[in-house]
């Protein structure tokens, strides 16, 4: 019998394909999950007793797995239930998948966590682990920072309690999970109104303490390591950076999905160019990176996973600084041309000018207003690079569709 011992924030598709799937291997642990804002998914899942079908979609066939680890679902607006569950002494872990943008200072992640942790302190329920599962470098540290920044302003005693009682766990998460479409729901059939489609590949690497215990996630293959950074860098630069390249450059060529873009020899060559450049900045053995690249190509090419470039293109202003700028800076510092990073930068600026996938990004406006000039975009995005005339000329050349060789 599963009791609620995990509380999740961000009841989206990815959480149901990943953390809920791993928790499914330990039948003593149940999850109470909260949506970001809306009530729809919480209501539907409640009608289904938290159950849903995970369609694990390989290149040739599907494996349908009914998931049972979610035992309660609530709308994000139910702040009272959120506080009382985080304050429950039986709850040992809070997990989060809220997108990169939600970690802004005073953003929704800080707001919800501080409210929940404050209730836990008042209830005297003891220590707890907070596990960010968003695609952010140093996601544990980022979560700790936004929580402490808010808590110290509200109540220094709460901040002190958080320091002594809350463990912020860092993670690398990986499982390509496109947004479920109405066509997917019809195709899965049956009574399930909210299935999730995902790929067979999955990875979860964690680093940090669980002072009140945790599910046996290792039964699903999760790995606990001292340092998650090399793995997170590998994934963010190669997978997510590759995705962003295809999302902007591939959609500008008229492609709609990752599989279609990666089948285009032009996009494929750009992907290799980016990976060659990015691999110099991933502190892992070369053979591991070669194997990861080969696996990524197979995953991207899976023709039965319809992962739209439009979905990946969203929130570029949050993603480019994480997925591309570290490589661009390091390459320029080393005196190299950085053609792969410059191409993604150019493709994103082209997207802001109206090419390819539509812009869906709450932070895009100031960049879109400057998109006529690479220098002006850099002034906002990476002021340390806005005097790099060679980089600017190269990026402008790419925007004009002309290769510029330095
Ligand atoms: N989908 C994937 O393949 C995948 C893989 C690895 C990691 N992730 C991480 O998981 C995150 C969520 O992915 P998903 O596919 O589940 O997305 P999703 O859109 O299905 O779900 C995200 C959840 O967060 C909520 N949310 C997002 N921004 C919010 C905001 N500003 N305020 C309030 N609520 C907000 C949404 O309402 C939803 O409940 C990604 O942003 C990424 O960081 C996703
Ligand atoms: O989920 P996002 O918006 O951070 O990024 C879009 C994709 O790059 C991402 O979801 C990948 O599919 C995922 O990170 C694979 O594990």
pLDDT digits (tens, 9 = 90+) for 175-228: 999 999 999 999 988 889 999 999 999 999 999 999 999 999 999 999 999 999
Closest CA to 147 of 129, 160, 159: 159
Domain boundaries, the chain: 3-227, 230-399
Which ligand minimizes its atom distance to the CA of 300? 2
Task: Please tell me the predicted confidence (pLDDT) of residue 406.
Answer: 38
Give me ligand 1 centre to Cα 288, in Å. Answer: 29
| CA of 243, nearest ligand number | 2
Residues in the chain predicted with pLDDT less than 70, given as ranges, are 402-406
Task: Decide whether any atom of ligand 1 lies within 6 Å of the 6 Cβ.
Answer: no
Q: What is the CATH number of domain 230-399?
A: 1.10.1040.10
User: Treating both helix axes as pointing N-terminal to C-terminal, what angle do 156-165 and 139-154 enclose, rounded to 10 degrees?
Assistant: 150
Residue 173 CA: which ligand 2 atom is closest?
16
**pLDDT, position 37:** 84
Atom of ligand 1 at shortest distance to CA of 135?
43
Read off φ and ψ for residue 84, nearest 5 degrees.
-70, -30
Cα 335 to the chain's mean position, in Å? 31
Q: Which fold has domain 3-227?
A: Rossmann fold (3.40.50)
What residue ranges line ligand 2, CB within 6 angstroms?
Answer: 100, 135, 174-176, 239-240, 243, 312
pLDDT confidence of residue 326:
97
337 contacts 406 by C-beta, under 8 angstroms: yes
Tell me if 113 sits within 8 A of 120, measured CB to CB.
no
Determine the distance separating the centroid of ligand 1 and the alpha carbon of 381, expressed in angstroms: 23
Judge if the beta carbon of residue 14 lies within 6 A of ligand 1: yes
Contacts of 70 (CB under 8 A, 6+ apart): 16, 20, 30, 31, 32, 33, 45, 50, 51, 52
Write down the pLDDT at residue 402. 54
> Using a 6 Å cutoff on CB, does residue 45 contact ligand 1?
no
User: What spacing in Å lies between the alpha carbon of 35 and ligand 1's midpoint?
Assistant: 10
DSSP string for 259-298: HHHHTSHHHHHHHHHHHHHHHTT--S-HHHHHHHHHHHHH
Q: Is 134 in the pocket of ligand 1 (CB under 6 A)?
A: yes
Residue 340 CA, chain-centre distance (Å), reads 22
Q: Classify 137 as helix, strand or coil.
A: coil
- Phi, psi angles (nearest 5°) of residue 349: -65, -40
Residue nearest to atom 6 of ligand 2 (CA): 312
For ligand 1, say whether the CB of 405 is within 6 Å of any of its atoms: no
Q: How far apart are CA 295 and CA 201, in angstroms?
A: 9
Rg (C-alpha) for the chain, rounded Å, is 22
Q: Which of 310, 304, 328, 337 is nearest to 403 (CA)?
A: 337
Q: Go through 294-323 and write b for each residue having 16 or more CB atoms within 10 A of its CB, e for each that does not.
A: eebeebbbbeebbbbbbbbbbbbbbbbebb
What is the C-alpha to C-alpha distance for residues 376 and 383, in angstroms, rounded to an integer?
9
Count CB neighbours of 326 within 10 A.
Answer: 18
The Å distance, Cα 12 to ligand 1 centre, comes to: 6
Report how far ligand 1's centroid is from the alpha carbon of 389 (Å).
37
């Amino acid at each position: 019998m599963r009791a609620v011992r995990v509380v999740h924030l961000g009841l989206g598709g990815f959480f149901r394909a990943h953390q809920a799937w791993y928790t499914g291997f330990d039948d003593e642990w149940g999850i109470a999950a909260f949506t970001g804002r809306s009530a729809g998914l919480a209501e539907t899942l409640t009608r289904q007793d938290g159950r849903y079908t995970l369609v694990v979609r390989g290149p040739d066939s599907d494996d349908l797995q009914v998931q049972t680890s979610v035992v309660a679902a609530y709308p994000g607006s139910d702040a009272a239930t959120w506080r009382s569950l985080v304050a429950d002494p039986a709850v040992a872990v809070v997990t989060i998948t809220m997108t990169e943008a939600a970690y802004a200072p005073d953003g929704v992640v800080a707001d919800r966590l501080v409210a929940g942790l404050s209730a836990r302190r008042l209830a005297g329920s003891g220590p707890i682990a907070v596990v960010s599962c968003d695609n952010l470098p140093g996601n544990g540290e980022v979560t700790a920072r936004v929580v402490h920044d808010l808590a110290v302003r509200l109540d220094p005693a709460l901040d002190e309690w958080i320091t002594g009682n809350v463990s912020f766990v860092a993670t690398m998460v990986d499982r390509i999970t496109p947004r479920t479409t109405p066509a997917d729901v019809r195709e899965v059939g049956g009574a399930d109104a909210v299935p999730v489609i995902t790929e067979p590949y999955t990875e979860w690497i964690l680093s940090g303490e669980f002072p009140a215990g945790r599910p046996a996630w290792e039964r699903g293959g999760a790995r606990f390591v001292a340092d998650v950074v090399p793995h997170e860098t590998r994934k963010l630069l190669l997978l997510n950076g590759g995705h962003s390249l295809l999302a902007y450059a591939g959609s500008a060529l008229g492609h709609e999905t990752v599989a279609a873009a990666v089948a285009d020899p032009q996009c494929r060559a750009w992907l290799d160019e980016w990976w060659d450049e990015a691999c110099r900045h991933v502190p892992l053995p070369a053979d591991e990176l070669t194997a990861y690249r080969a696996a990524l190509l197979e995953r991207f090419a899976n023709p039965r996973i319809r992962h739209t470039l439009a979905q990946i293109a969203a929130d570029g202003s949050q993603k480019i600084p994480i997925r591309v700028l570290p490589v661009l800076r390091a390459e320029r510092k080393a005196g190299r041309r950085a053609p792969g990073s410059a191409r993604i930068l150019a493709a994103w600026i082209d997207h802001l000018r109206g090419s390819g996938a539509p812009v869906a990004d709450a932070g895009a406006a100031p960049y879109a207003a400057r998109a006529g000039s690479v220098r002006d975009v850099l002034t906002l995005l990476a002021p340390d690079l806005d005097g790099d005339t060679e980089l600017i000329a190269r990026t402008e050349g790419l925007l004009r569709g002309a290769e510029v060789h330095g």
